[in-house]
Structure 1
Amino acid sequence: MRIHFIAIGGSAMHNLAIALHKKGYQISGSDDVIFEPAKSRLDKYGLLPAEMGWDENSISTDLDAVILGMHARIDNPELMKAQELGIKIYSYPEYIYEQSKDKLRVVIGGSHGKTTITSMILHVLNYYSRDFDYLVGAQLAGFETMVKVTKEAPVMIIEGDEYLSSPIDRRPKFHLYKANVAVISGIAWDHINVFPTYADYTAQFDKFINTIEAGGTLIYCEADADLNEIVEKSEARITKIGYAIPEHEIKNGITYLLPEKTALKVFGDHNLMNMNAAKLVCKQLNISETEFNEAISSFSGAAKRLEVISADESTNVYKDFAHSPSKLKATIEAVKSQFTNRKLVACIELHTFSSLNKDFLKEYADSMDKADEAIVFIDLKSFEQKRMEPFSEQDVQDAFSNPKLKFFNDASKLKTYLLSLNYKNSNLLMMSSGNYAGFDLPELAAGLSR
C-alpha cells in the first residue's frame, strides 16, 4: 500500500504514519511546518519531508490513498490534485476505522478524562501482555508511539475526540469508529467555534451513542445529569452500564481503593471516576476486578495529567493539561483534597479559541474558588493569532467570579511573581494545553522558595 499524508506533522497524523510504516506500508507526506517531537520521530523512520510546503507533484495515480489532516485547508493544492485524480481520500479517523473494522473496537469519548481512561486501559492490557492496537492522545510511558495498528491484534482501544475529522469532513471523529464498546466520561461544553450552543455540542454525544454497533455496550458516567438524560432517552439497541466514584480513602497523601486497600499512584475524584470506567471496559475484555486492581496500582498517570515536576516534604509542583472549566475545577479539587493541610497556588493559561471568547469566558465562574491563590495567564500573542479582542484583568475577575484572582498577560512578569512566593507547605499547580509562552517548568520548580 502507498499512502500519502497531507499535513503529516499533526500529533495523531505523524503517529499513524509511523504505525503504518511499521506495518510495511510505503508512506510519504507533506506539511508547511513540523514541530518537535513530530519532526524527530518522522526523521527517525525516514518519513520527514525533504522540504516544507505543498507540492501537487507528490500526488499521482500510483497512490492507493491520501490521508488528510485537520491542519490542511480545503484549497490545499495536494488535496485538490487528489480530488481531481479520483484518489481515495480519508480523514485519519476514517482510516483508523479501515484498519480496525475487523477488530473489537473500544472507543473512549467524553469532554474530559478520555486520555486518562484510555491510558489506564492500555496500562492494564500491557501489564497482562495482551495483544492490542490503540490510538491515544498523549505519549505514554512504555509506548513508543501514540498509535499502533497491526494485522494480528484482535482489539483496538481508541480515544474518540468530538472535534471535526478533516477540512472536508465535518463529522466529529468519534462518530466514525463504530464502537463495539463505548465510554462517555461526561459532557462539558467545548469547541464553541464548531458547536456554538450547548445543545449543538450535546447532540454530538447523542449521535455517538447511535453509532455504537447493535448489541454493543455503552459505559457512561451516571454522575453527569445531562449525560444521564441523553442515555435514558436513547433507543439504541445496546447495553448501558453506569459508573460513579469507587469507595476509597486518603491517608498521608495516598489514595487507597476499598475494601482491598489498594494503594494508588494517582488521586482525585475525577481520576477515580476514570478508573471505574477503565475497570468496566477491562471487564468487557475478560479482565477481572482483582486483576484490574493489581495492574492499576502501578499506573502513574498520563503525560501532563497531574504530572509531578518536583516533590519534597513540603512542596509538590504539578503540570496538568486542564484548560476547560470542568477540567480546571476537577484538577484543583483533586490537589486540595489530597493535600488538605497545604496551600494551593493554581495557575491556568487560557489560549484555546473557546477560552478566549468573551461569551464563553463566563463558563469559568467559580472554577478556581478552591485554590488559595488563583492566577490566570493569557499570552497577548494568543489574541493576536486568533484575531480576538484582549481581556482586561477586570474581565477575567468578573468572569471567574473571583475579585482576588490575579491576571498576567506577560510571561516574564508571571514568572517573577511565581518565584516571589513562599512555597513552604504549599503546592503549585500549572495548568494549560499550551506551553506558557515557552516556560521551562522544571527550571521554575527548581527556583521556588520553600
Structure 2
Amino acid sequence: MNIHFIAIGGSAMHNLALALNHKGYKITGSDDVIFEPSKTRLAEKGLLPDDFGWFPEKVTAELDAVILGMHAKANNPELLKAQELGLDIFSYPEFLYEQSKNKTRVVIGGSHGKTTITSMILHVLNYHGRDVDYMVGAQLDGFDRMVHLTEDNDFIILEGDEYLSSPIDRRPKFHLYKPNIALLSGIAWDHINVFPTFDNYVDQFQIFVDSIVKGGSITYNEEDENVKNVVEGSENAIRKLPYTTPEYSVENGQTLLETPEGPMPIEVFGKHNLSNLSGAKWICQNMGIDEDDFYEAIGTFKGASKRLEKIAEGKTCVAYKDFAHSPSKVAATTKAVKEQFPDRKLIACLELHTYSSFNPEFLKEYKGALDSADSPIVFYLPESVEIKKLAPVLAPQIAEAFKRDDLKIMTDAEAFRAYLYDQNLTDSVVLLMSSGNYGGLNLEDLKTHVEEY
C-alpha cells in the first residue's frame, strides 16, 4: 500500500510510519517542523521529508490512504488536495483500528497510568516470548518502536488516549478502537481546552466503556470512585472485573510485593504503580499468562521511559524524572517517592507546561498535590503562557492554588538551574515532574552533579 502522512514528525505519527514501513508499505510524509528523536529515526529509514513544509503535489490519486496528524490544521493544503481527490483519509486511531479489525483488541484507558500499564503488559508478554501487535506511548527496553503491526498476530495492545483524533475528527482516540478487552485505571479531569467541565470529561469514559464489543470485558480500578460509577453504571453486556491495589511493603528503599510465594522485590514503586501492576496482571491473565509467570516477568520491569525514571544516583542522592503534570498524578508521584525514601529530603520540582495547568480555575485542582514534598518548587515560563494565548499566570495565583506557604515559584530557567545546583543534596531525592524540559535543563549535567553526593 502507498500511504502518505500529513504531519509525519509527531511522536505517535512517526512511530506509525516506521511500523508500516517495517510491514512493507510504501511511506511518504510531510511536516513543517520535526524534532529529535523523530528526525533521526525517520532519516535512518529514508522517511524524512527532503524539505519541511506542505506540498500538495505529494498527494496524488495513486495513494491508497492519507493519515492525518493532530499537528496539522483543517485548512492544510495537503489535506485539501486529498479531499479534492476523494482519497481515503484516516486519523491515527482510525487507521490503527483498520489494521486491527480482525484481531482481539486490548485497550488500556484512564487519565493516568495507561502508558505504564500498557508497558507492563508488553514487558510480560515479551519476557515469555508472546508476539503481539501494539501501540504504546513511551519507548520501552527491548522494543524497537512504539508501534508494531503485523498480519499474523492475534492480539493488539493499544494505549487508549482520550485526546482528540485529528483536526477534522473531534472524537477522543479511544472511542474508535472498539475493544474486546479493556481496562480503566482512573479518571481525573484533564484536557480542559477540549473538555471544559468535569462532567463532560467523564462522559468520554462512559462512551469508551459502552464501545466495548458485546461479550467483551472491562477490568477496572474499583478504588477510583469515578471509574467505579462509570463502569458499574454501564448497561453494556460485558464482563466487569474489578481490581484493587495489592499488598506491599517498603524496606530500606526497596518495595516488596506480596505474592502467594511470599514478598517479592520489584523495581517500580508507589501505590499508584502497584495499582497499575494489579491491573496489568489481570489483563495478562485474560490473555493466557498465569499468575506465577506474571510475577516472574514483572520482577524485571524497570518502568516506562519518563515514568518515574531514575536518571541519576550518587551515594546519598537519587534523581527521578516523571511525565506527571496533572494534579492527581503529581500528588501520586510525589507521595510514592516520599514513601520509598522516607528519611531523605524530597525536592519536588513541578513544571507547569500544559494548557490546563495555566487555567486559573483548573489551577485550584493542584491543592495538596505537593504536600509530600519537603522542598516544593513550581517552575513555569511566562513565554509558554503567551504561546498558548492565555492570560498571564501570576505567582500569587499559584501559591493560593497549592496551599503551601513554603512553595518556591520560579519563572527563569537559569535561575531555576542555579537554585537546584545550590542545594545540598546529601540524603536527598530530586524529583522532576514535567511534560516539558524546564527551559532547557541539561539532564546530563544534572546527572554528574547528583553523582557527586
TM-score, length of structure 1 as denominator length? 0.99
* Percent of paired sites with the same residue: 57
Deviates more, 1:310-319 or 1:321-330: 310-319
Give the match for residue 247 of structure 1. Answer: 247
Match 2:329 to one of 319, 327, 330: 327
1:284 aligns with 2:257: no
> How many pairs align?
450
**1:86-105: CA deviation from partner (whole Å, max 9, x where unpaired):** 00000010000011111111
Give the match for residue 419 of structure 1. Answer: 421
Other structure's SS at 1:72 match: coil
Q: Distance in 1 between matches of 2:28 and 2:424?
A: 52
1:37 Cα offset (Å): 0.5
Q: Distance in 2 between matches of 1:358 and 1:403?
A: 19
Q: Distance in 2 between matches of 1:344 and 1:267?
A: 15
Equivalent pair of 1:2/1:25 in contact (CA under 8 Å)? yes
How do 1:429-448 and structure 2 match up within 5 A? 429-448=431-450
Structural RMSD (CA):
0.9
Give the match for residue 389 of structure 1. Answer: 391
Equivalent pair of 2:382/2:393 in contact (CA under 8 Å)? no
Other structure's SS at 2:358 match: coil
Other structure's SS at 1:437 match: coil
Q: Distance in 2 between matches of 1:134 and 1:419?
A: 40
Q: Distance in 1 between matches of 2:13 and 2:393?
A: 34
Q: Distance in 2 between matches of 1:387 and 1:122?
A: 39
How do 1:42-441 and structure 2 match up within 5 A? 42-259=42-259, 260-441=262-443
Equivalent pair of 1:32/1:52 in contact (CA under 8 Å)? yes
Other structure's SS at 1:22 match: helix
The runs of 5 or more residues in structure 1 that have no matched partner are none
Paired residue type of 2:441: F
Equivalent pair of 1:393/1:406 in contact (CA under 8 Å)? no
**1:69-102: CA deviation from partner (whole Å, max 9, x where unpaired):** 0000000011011111100000010000011111
Q: Distance in 1 between matches of 2:89 and 2:132?
A: 26
Q: Distance in 1 between matches of 2:422 and 2:45?
A: 45
**1:2-57: CA deviation from partner (whole Å, max 9, x where unpaired):** 01000000111100011101111111000000111110011011111111000111
**1:204-252: CA deviation from partner (whole Å, max 9, x where unpaired):** 0000001100000101110111111111111010001111110111111
Q: Distance in 2 between matches of 1:261 and 1:80?
A: 59
Runs of 4+ in 1 over 6 A off after TM superposition: none
Paired residue type of 1:176: L
Q: Distance in 2 between matches of 1:337 and 1:447?
A: 24
Deviates more, 1:359-368 or 1:258-267: 258-267
1:313 Cα offset (Å): 3.0
Paired residue type of 1:208: F
Q: Distance in 2 between matches of 1:390 and 1:315?
A: 36
1:124 Cα offset (Å): 0.2
The runs of 5 or more residues in structure 2 that have no matched partner are none
1:13 aligns with 2:28: no
Equivalent pair of 2:313/2:447 in contact (CA under 8 Å)? no
Q: Distance in 2 between matches of 1:262 and 1:412?
A: 43
**1:366-402: CA deviation from partner (whole Å, max 9, x where unpaired):** 1101100100000122012111222222111101111
**1:176-211: CA deviation from partner (whole Å, max 9, x where unpaired):** 001011011000000000000000000000000011
Q: Distance in 1 between matches of 2:98 and 2:267?
A: 36
Q: Distance in 2 between matches of 1:249 and 1:430?
A: 24
Paired residue type of 2:350: I
**1:297-341: CA deviation from partner (whole Å, max 9, x where unpaired):** 000000011111111331111111000000000000000111111
**1:109-164: CA deviation from partner (whole Å, max 9, x where unpaired):** 00000100000000000001111010000111111110000111110000010000
Other structure's SS at 1:236 match: coil
1:442 Cα offset (Å): 2.8
Q: Distance in 2 between matches of 1:8 and 1:309?
A: 29
Other structure's SS at 1:360 match: helix
Paired residue type of 1:273: S
Give the match for residue 31 of structure 1. Answer: 31
Give the match for residue 2 of structure 1. Answer: 2
Q: Distance in 1 between matches of 2:226 and 2:322?
A: 26
Q: Distance in 1 between matches of 2:273 and 2:24?
A: 38
Paired residue type of 2:231: V
Q: Distance in 1 between matches of 2:24 and 2:37?
A: 23
1:445 Cα offset (Å): 3.4
Q: Distance in 1 between matches of 2:439 and 2:72?
A: 24
Q: Distance in 2 between matches of 1:374 and 1:394?
A: 15
TM-score, length of structure 2 as denominator length? 0.98
Paired residue type of 2:301: F
1:447 Cα offset (Å): 2.2
Deviates more, 1:251-260 or 1:106-115: 251-260
Q: Distance in 2 between matches of 1:430 and 1:274?
A: 21
Paired residue type of 1:173: K
Equivalent pair of 2:364/2:401 in contact (CA under 8 Å)? yes
